[in-house]
Amino acid sequence: MRFIADFIGALREAGLPISPAESLDALNAVSLVGLERRETAKTVLALTLVKRQEDRGVFDTLFGLYFAGLKQPNEPNAKQGNQQKPTDERNHPQDAQANSKGAQALSKNAQASSEEVQRSDASSGGQASASSALGQSLSQQEDMGLAITQAASAENLSSIVLFTQKNQFVYKIMQRLGDEELREELKSQNQNQNLEQSTLFSVLEKRRAQLFEQVTDYVEQQYLIFAKQKGLRFRDQHVQQMKLNQLEQADYQRMQRLVQKAARKLAAQHSHRRLTRKRGVLDVRKTIAANAAFDGALFHTRWKATRVERPKIVVICDVSGSVSRVARFLLLFLYSLQDVIPKVRSFVFASQMFEVTELLQQQQIESALETIMQRWGGMSTDYGKALAGFGSQALTKLDKKTTVIMLGDARNNQGDGRTDIWQQVYSQSKRVLWLNPEQRSSWDTGDSIMSEYSPWCSSVEPCRNLKDIEGIFSRILKYS
């Protein structure tokens, strides 16, 4: 069952939600039907492990890779079995494509092995035999697929992570199959061998080389199954901690996916209840009223409650060249929280302030962000002029239910920062957060005037990667 447990682990690594109970159901089902009939085993595993239709393609692909070495039932040899196409592979092209490499390799090795057996039997007359267990298996044309699978499971091949481990696992599997004894037997050849023994050992050397290639192909398949998904997960973790203003263009789509995933997770955590009860604060009036029919006996207690209102947010993003990448993903994260933060006004600026609320609401978020960056991004910064524009457009709309979020590096090119307007923003709002994409040691260096804005902020925090953005909005939703 370790073999199936490793396959379930590979499915989890690929993103399939599989609970421990479902894993036990799959193990019990396979123990009843066995693995002899590959299509039956595949159907049983799919029924117990796949809950979403969109996950079926991933399951088919991994099943094709993972079970490529298993021989079909009632097959006289591996060649015949690999030529037969299972019905499910015809129905699922992804599975057939994933199987192609492993199936072709196994078919090629099996075919070559069959031809060598015929030549060996013709040459030796069936009289010479090998003494090592592996040598006997190879000389008798035994299928090694199951033996390789069992040896790989015993060596915990599913733990493979790095491509540099492939040769190490190939060596370990060969040793477990008995390669050491076979090599010693081949070394022990001497000049007094008869023709039959010489022919046998020549054939064994060729078959050992074919077995080595078969094991190498199997390890490569398992590496694709296990290490690829782990590598993608490690890459996601690395991108989440990467500085957004240093993000490479190749990682944009990956980051967009991660931003939306983090936003959905956060939205799910904060969308369930708007009414929370503070246990320990007894509402005396409501408790007495609720127990009036019981002569004052406290059968029912009532507790004071507080209603959690969804926050009103005004976000202001510097989209100048130095901050534009961070602004892109901050707005993407914010507008992925529409279920829990529906009241959002958005402004962007470089030298002038522009409201982009309608643009972000009317277009797809990715398209709207691209339009914003092309139209207003990349220009030089003038905080004073931009804040003056914000004052005329939105200052009168701020109230004590509004949270204002400013994203900017406070680098004003030696101009007037108009901190008087920012002071008014602070006095009229519930809370003012300033997110700076630079590290704290860079604040107030060069043309940065961060210290002039800091006194008029509820909180000033670095915002350099996705983890920072997720933490900031988690606190906003928690304490709103």
Query: What pLDDT sits at residue 162?
Result: 75
Question: For residue 138, what are its two tokens?
Answer: 């190879």
Q: End-to-end CA distance of the chain, in Å?
A: 50
Query: What pLDDT sits at residue 173?
Result: 92
> Across the strands, what pairs with 461?
435
DSSP conformation class of 473: H
Rounded Cα distance between 230 and 390, Å, is: 46
In contact, 98 and 64? CB cutoff 8 Å? yes
Whole-angstrom CA distances from 165 to 80, 157, 227, 393 are 33, 10, 10, 61
Is the C-alpha dihedral spanning 279, 281, 286, 287 positive or negative? positive
Q: Which residues of the chain have pLDDT under 70?
A: 1, 68-128, 189-197, 227-241, 245-252, 269-280, 296, 305-311, 322, 338-340, 479-480
Query: What pLDDT sits at residue 420?
Result: 94
Determine the 3-state secondary structure of 14 from DSSP: coil
3-state helix, strand, coil in the chain (%, to 5): 60, 10, 30
Whole-angstrom CA distances from 57 to 52, 64, 281, 447 are 10, 11, 53, 54
Rounded Cα distance between 415 and 421, Å, is: 15
Determine the 3-state secondary structure of 414 from DSSP: coil
Residues 6 or more apart whose Cβ sits within 8 Å of residue 165:
none
Rounded Cα distance between 45 and 39, Å, is: 10
Rounded Cα distance between 262 and 329, Å, is: 12
Rounded Cα distance between 316 and 319, Å, is: 9
Residues 6 or more apart whose Cβ sits within 8 Å of residue 414:
447
Cα Rg of the chain, angstroms: 33
Q: Which of 334, 318, 299, 286 is nearest to 383 (CA)?
A: 318
Angle (nearest 5°) at CA 452 between 446 and 454: 110
Rounded Cα distance between 299 and 95, Å, is: 63
DSSP conformation class of 411: B
The residue assigned the tokens 């298996």 is: 137
Rounded Cα distance between 254 and 442, Å, is: 28
Query: What pLDDT sits at residue 279?
Result: 54
